[in-house]
């Protein structure tokens, strides 16, 4: 049985990609072999290492919901439902507004 320290670097890279990803994509094996398995794992776990596409950042920033205070969220979404609890027509209208 091989121990972790006995495994050649090339096999460690392939083993890590098979276990931690969905197997190697073209170029992954060479990249992980070059940077090392430990560095690859740290890179995968560091959310700051994944660049966010500028278009996605722009679209998410434009969502009004993310900029609302808890009070505004309550007044916009929860309060109409609470007010409409007894009135079926008002309840349907509140659900449609949501």
CA gap 69, 71 in Å, rounded = 5
User: pLDDT per residue over 17-49, tens digit each?
Assistant: 999 989 899 999 999 999 999 999 998 899 887
pTM above 0.75, yes or no: no
Q: Could you give the CA distance from residue 83 to residue 96 in angstroms, rounded to a whole number?
A: 14
Tokens at 32, concatenated: 């992980």
């Amino acid at each position: 049985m091989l121990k972790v320290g006995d495994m050649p670097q090339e096999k460690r890279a392939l083993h890590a990609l098979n276990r931690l990803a969905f197997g190697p994509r073209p170029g992954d094996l060479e990249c992980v072999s070059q940077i090392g398995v430990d560095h690859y794992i740290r890179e995968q776990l560091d959310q700051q290492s994944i660049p966010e596409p500028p278009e996605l950042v722009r679209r998410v920033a434009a969502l009004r919901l993310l900029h609302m205070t808890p009070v505004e969220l309550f007044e916009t979404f929860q309060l109409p439902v609470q007010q409409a609890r007894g009135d079926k027509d008002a309840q349907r209208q509140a659900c449609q507004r949501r």
